[in-house]
Structure 1
Amino acid sequence: MTAVPTVRGTVDSGELGRTYMHEHIFALTADVQQNFPEEWGDEDARVADAAAKLKALAAQGVRSIVDPTVIGLGRYIPRIQRVAELVPELNIVVATGIYTYESVPPFFYHRGPAVGRPEPMVDMFVRDITEGITGTGVRAGMLKCAIDAQGLTEGVERVMRAVAQAHHRTGTPVTVHTHPDSKTGRHVKRVLCDEEGVDPRRVVLGHSGDTTDCDHLSELADAGFVLGMDRFGINLATTFEARADTLVEMCRRGYADRMVLSQDAACYIDWIDPEVLGLLPQWHYLHIADEVLPYVRERGVTEEQVQTMLVETPRRVFEG
């Protein structure tokens, strides 16, 4: 078994149990929240609300979540520590990395390769993993990068290669925000795996469930990747049935051991107008257990396959 760092300490990979591999607690625009805090409201109330929502998730039998909130998504670990202390029944694994679709953050414009020096991101990511994040003692258990419809921009590639180097130094698994309609998983394969040497079995291709192209998903699974079917409940550009039917078909094709499940939900996210959030009534932590699993079971997904996607495959990602 493998030791997995969580917010409240290290747990054995065999104790992770039912795991959602992509759930946020808070997704924030840090500068806006610091300078225009009106919408955030009371800190204690936000923490209490998050704890209540996560307790409800734990009551469904979910034992662990991975929160891939990194630079660019408003990561603030002291707040997550407060939440975790109120929900001791849930393991929370946090991440390190940078979330960008285009350029690196301005901090990195004139550092590292831009001025002929080593990439500072690598040491930053490694320190988060080996020593802890900003003096909290909380170590990251996942690396995170992103590639979206903009494709493999210079900034995206720079972060991706830094994540690969940090992976090799620490053995930490990787999750990648992808845009499957643009088939960006192929870029991940070339850069992260073919060129940088990361084992695709340690890489979760996030948001794979945003497409219904099962042939493309099968191609990526055959290459060794783990597919993140992790946006259940986000049904503006698609439907509940389309997401769930894609999961059913991929299970029918024999890929249950190449998929993990989540909702990409958050207790609070400031990226979306509250009126728009009202159009997504299924986007919350309880959706998979309450609605997705009953639907897919009725269409042939077995209990063994559910166990594989929620317990065995997440554990294997961490164990390598």
Structure 2
Amino acid sequence: MSRVRTVLGDLPPEELGVCDAHDHLFLSSPRFPGQELDDTVAARAELTAFRAVGGAAVVQWTPHGMGRRAADLPELSRATGVRLVCATGLHQAAHYDPELLDQLRGAGLAELFVAELTEGIGTTGVRAGLIKVAGGFHALDAHTRWTMKAAAEAHHATGAPIAVHLELGTGALDVLDLLCGESGVPGDRVILGHLNRSPDPVVQREAAASGCWLAFDGPSRAHHATDWRMPEAVRALAEAGFADRLLLGGDTVLAGARSVDGGPGMPYLLRRTRPRLEAELGAELVDRILTEHPGRAFGVDWR
């Protein structure tokens, strides 16, 4: 029976509620000095603000080794009433100390992912509900191939979905060739993030035809195409028969992007993105994308 693995335990997909399918409460990286998401008070305030505009669940894509603070997530979920899903996995090599990567190569990456999905993250007792990995810009380097093959192994052992950061929205078809082609991961167990940042309708349709999920996450930076092309892109996919393959998220990565710190933050998804998409697609479909689809994408018949 399918269940979504939250930080407070597994629950039926239909109980997830209105869901931000790709976001971050905590995240740190040497690439973002001084902009770390590492404040529990701010995280609680952000979840409270999201709850106030109708949000019920957030899937945090922060993977292993990037300050995800799994031990703090259960109390944040209890205090705010927002269901939280935590990730295992590994991001691009640039986000890590090389010594840590060397240790992980020696220890067995797939085994780490499986342990965090089934036994818990460290001593926290919090079990991850998805595996997050990342591609490169129009290419899959050795690090990417290593992490994605480990993610595929962990998927086959547990059934967990694999969420993929596409660098500037590129490389989607190469990712699918590796995960679904070489590694045998079913398409509906793969979630592609940021595909909208490289708004190629042909690639989007070809990716959707694999059965994977397309996560449209933003709001966009000034040089990205996320916001102004997203409604048209989503409508085109729906008209092409892929309305049931869509997810929406906020992807708050830096401290200054939080709504409580003056940015758009998590509430933007429901405050601005939702009505904009409803005008293009109708409220019924947008409601399904925000409620039904995340439960299907992250629901697992856990092994």
Give the alignment's TM-score, normalised by structure 1. 0.83
1:77 aligns with 2:58: no
Give the match for residue 218 of structure 2: 231
Is the 1:233–1:263 Cα contact (8 Å) retained in structure 2? no
Is the deviation greater in 240-249 or in 20-29? 240-249
Alignment check: 8 A CA contact 2:196 2:226 kept: no
Q: What's the RMSD between the two structures over aligned residues?
A: 3.0
Q: 2:59 aligns with which of 66, 73, 85?
A: 66
Partner of 2:177: 190
Deviation at 1:221, TM superposition (A): 0.3
Establish whether residue 155 from structure 1 lines up as the match of residue 135 from structure 2: no
Q: 5 Å matches for 1:51-200?
A: 51-87=44-80, 89-100=81-92, 105-109=98-102, 112=105, 120-149=108-137, 151-179=139-167, 182=170, 184-200=171-187
Classify 1:151/1:82 alpha carbon distance in 2 versus 1 (closer, same or farther; 3 Å): same
Give, in angstroms, the shift of residue 60 of structure 1: 2.3
Higher relative contact order (CA 8 A, sep 6+): 2
Q: Distance in 2 between matches of 1:63 and 1:235?
A: 29
The 1:173/1:60 distance shift into structure 2, 3 A limit, reads: same
For residues 275 and 31 of structure 2, the distance between their equivalents in structure 1, rounded to whole angstroms, comes to 41
Structure 1 position 282, deviation (Å): 6.3
- For residues 130 and 201 of structure 1, what CA distance do their matches in structure 2 show? 21
CA distance in 1, matches of 2:73, 2:145: 29
Distance in 1, matches of 2:267 and 2:155, equals 32
Question: How many Å separate the matches in 1 of 2:68 and 2:142?
Answer: 24
Shift, 1:30, TM fit: 7.3
Alpha carbons of structure 1 residues 32 and 177: separation in structure 2 relative to 1, 3 Å: closer
Partner of 2:289: 309
For the 8 Å contact 2:31–2:95, the answer to whether it is kept is no
The question of 1:219 aligning with 2:211 is answered no
What is the CA-CA distance between 1:81 and the residue it aligns to? 3.5
3-state SS in 2 of match to 1:22? strand
Q: Is the 8 A contact 1:233 1:284 kept in 2?
A: no
Identical residues among aligned pairs (%): 29
**d(CA) in 1 for partners of 2:138, 2:287:** 35
Q: Distance in 1 between matches of 2:223 and 2:203?
A: 22
Q: Aligned partners of 2:275 and 2:91: how far apart in 1?
A: 33
1:11 aligns with 2:4: no
Assess, with a 3 A threshold, how the Cα gap between structure 1 residues 92 and 153 changes in structure 2: closer, same or farther. same
Deviation at 1:250, TM superposition (A): 2.4
After TM superposition, give the deviation of residue 263 of structure 1 in Å: 1.2
Q: CA offsets, 1:120-169, max 9 Å, x none?
A: 01111111011110111100000111002062111110000000000000
1:282 and 1:239, CA in 2 relative to 1: closer, same or farther beyond 3 A? farther
Tell me: CA distance 1:159–1:217, structure 2 relative to 1, closer, same or farther (3 Å). same
The aligned amino acid for 1:292 is T
In 2, Cα distance between the equivalents of 1:206 and 1:178?
6
Cα 1:152/1:140, change in 2 over 3 Å? same
- Match for 2:291: what amino acid? V
The DSSP-based 3-state class of the residue aligned with 2:174 is helix
Whether 1:50 aligns to 2:43 is: yes
Preserved CA contact (<8 Å) 2:64 2:87: no
The answer to whether the 8 A contact 1:205-1:227 is kept is yes
For structure 1, the residue ranges without an aligned partner over 5 or more in a row are none
User: How far apart are 1:47 and its partner, in Å?
Assistant: 1.8
| 1:148–1:129 CA distance, 2 compared to 1 (3 A) | same
- CA spacing shift, 1:235–1:288, aligned 2, 3 Å: farther
Structure with higher Rg: it is 1
Counterpart amino acid of residue 173 in structure 1: P
CA contact (8 A) 2:169 2:194 kept: no
Q: What residue ranges of structure 2 are gaps of 5+ in the alignment?
A: none
